[in-house]
A and B are shown apart, each in its own frame.
Chain A
Amino acid sequence: MPNACNLTTASDEQLVAATLQGDISSFGIIVERYWNMAVALALSKIDDLVAAEDVAQESFIKAYSQLHRLRKASSFAGWLSKIIAQQCVNTLRRKERNEIISSYETASPEVLNFALAKSTNPGLTDEQTLFVRRVIRNLPEKFRKLIIMRFVAGLPAVQIAKQLGKRPGTVRVWLHRAYQILRKDLAPILEELE
């Protein structure tokens, strides 16, 4: 499948341009490229995996409908991360409002959070998953985005810099600082996994 191969190795700029010309499959490639990152970014703010996937999905749909407004196609992921952050705020507000309106309480927050943290990945227990997500959530916003882009999306620092409109040197320094924090904060889990 030479075409499919070309498409998957195409740059974000090429895929965005093709999408704007009506090639919907190019947007499909963009979704595949950034789906894990989008869910992770949402999960770094929302405990519920289902809600986080909904946020990611809504964000992609919103990004598609506003794609003509994206000025630099090379910063698609950075732009998407802003949409996700906004969608998370909306979701959390909606949830907050529903909680105020609704007087039903089915479970204590701890029990609920624990249930929501369930991961489909067999590598970590539910407790460990929750712990790792909390550690990432406690990182400063700039580090959090960076760590997810680097480790979940697998983007190198140079590309992250392009996506976020920062200097590569700045991103490298932030990445190394964030890594040092993670090494310390994730130590208990890493020891368990040894």
Chain B
Amino acid sequence: MNCENYKKLIGKYLDGSINDAERTALRAHTQECASCCAQVHSIDRIDSTIKSAFCPATATSQASDSILSKLPATAVRWAPRPLFTPQTALAASILLVIGLLLGIGATRITAKKRPSAKAAPTVPIRVASLRGTVLVKHQNSQSWYELTPESNVYLGDTFHSAAKSAFVLELEDKSTIELNQNSMLVLKLYNGGTQFHLEHGRLAATLDSPHPPFVISTPNGRVEALGTEFTVTVE
């Protein structure tokens, strides 16, 4: 093999696809060829330099023990019930048809009773982090409660962050919405999905890439996200 062939092996050495026989052959060649030896040496030096510069202070076994001790006991098996599965969608459409057949009068009565009888559905959104005092008011309720990281999030919730307070909501697709201090955010139902309505204040959203159309509504108009990170301010 001439140097040209060994260059392929050096490429394989760099991307980690070199096998033992090829490695031995390359090592033997580098004993004789200064140019190839320098190239292999350069890869090794960069490898060790990066490893050194990014070496953690905590050893892996120690980190593993520490993390395992902090893991929630049951969280891994817990799976949030999806809001709209094919079954629930089918059941909802059957109920809708029955409701229509029964007549508008009857549906009006049930519609009037429903808000007080049944709580708003939870949405697959969770409180990822929280700082200071954030209040939440559920739909059809006049009381404000203090939001905690464990709180469930319901459709129709209104969040109010006090001064020097902020919190982050994490959506199902890992996108996050961070509400800054002195802000009010309402989760509204819009076209069957959750619509974020910023009543006042400031929010910063970080979306997964690529993401489906994502809109924030405000009293002054609707803002559609084009990129993955954006901020909306309502004075």
Binding site for B on A (CB under 8 A): 19-20, 22, 24-25, 27-29, 31-32, 35-36, 39-40, 43-44, 49-50, 52-53, 56-57, 60-61, 64-65, 67-68, 82-83, 86, 89-90, 93-94, 97, 101, 119-121, 123-124, 128-129, 132-133, 136, 147-148, 150-152, 154-159, 171-172, 175-176, 179, 182-183, 186, 189-190, 193
Segment of B13-21, B107-115, B149-157, B215-223 in the binding face: B13-21
C-alpha gap A52/B63 in the complex (Å): 13
Q: Are A28 and B64 in contact (CB under 8 A)?
A: yes
Are A64 and B76 in contact (CB-based, < 8 A)? Answer: yes
Look across to chain A and name the residue whose beta carbon is closest to the beta carbon of B58.
Answer: A53
Contact of A67 among B45, B76, B176 (CB under 8 A): B76
B52 in the interface, Cβ–Cβ < 8 Å?
Answer: yes
Binds A, one of B23-31, B66-74, B140-148, B189-197: B66-74
Contact indicator per residue, chain B 181-206, by CB within 8 Å of chain A (1) or not (0): 00000000000000000000000101
Q: List 24 A-B contacts (CB under 8 A).
A: A24-B71, A28-B68, A29-B64, A32-B61, A36-B54, A36-B56, A39-B58, A53-B58, A65-B72, A68-B77, A94-B129, A94-B131, A119-B53, A121-B52, A123-B48, A132-B49, A132-B54, A133-B53, A136-B50, A156-B16, A158-B16, A158-B17, A176-B14, A190-B49
Partner of B53, one of A52, A128, A159: A128
Chain B hits for A147, CB < 8 A: 50
10 nearest CB pairs, A to B: A156-B16, A132-B53, A40-B54, A157-B15, A123-B52, A39-B56, A65-B75, A121-B55, A31-B64, A151-B50
Pick the residue among B53, B66, B75 that contacts A124 (CB under 8 A).
B53
In the bound complex, CA of A90 to CA of B50 (Å): 25
Contact B61 A90 (CB under 8 A): no
Contact indicator A97/B16 (Cβ below 8 Å): no
Give A179 to B42 CA distance when docked, in angstroms.
10
Interface of A is mostly: helix
Chain B interface size range: 35 or more
A-contact bits for B97-138, CB 8 A (1 contact / 0 none): 000000000000000000000000000000011010000000
17 more contacts with CB within 8 A, not counting A28-B67, A90-B128, A123-B52, are: A28-B68, A29-B64, A31-B68, A36-B54, A36-B56, A39-B58, A43-B54, A90-B129, A93-B204, A101-B164, A121-B53, A148-B54, A150-B15, A158-B16, A176-B15, A183-B46, A193-B49
Complex CA distance for A171 and B15, rounded to whole angstroms: 9
B57 → chain A closest CB, angstroms: 5
**Is the CB–CB distance between A152 and B206 below 8 Å?**
no
In the bound complex, do residue B45 and residue A190 qualify as a contact, i.e. CB atoms below 8 Å apart? yes
B230 to chain A, nearest CB (A): 13
Residues of B within 8 A of A120 (CB): 55-57
- The one of B14, B46, B71, B131 in contact with A27, judged by C-beta atoms closer than 8 angstroms, is B71
Give A36 to B50 CA distance when docked, in angstroms: 11
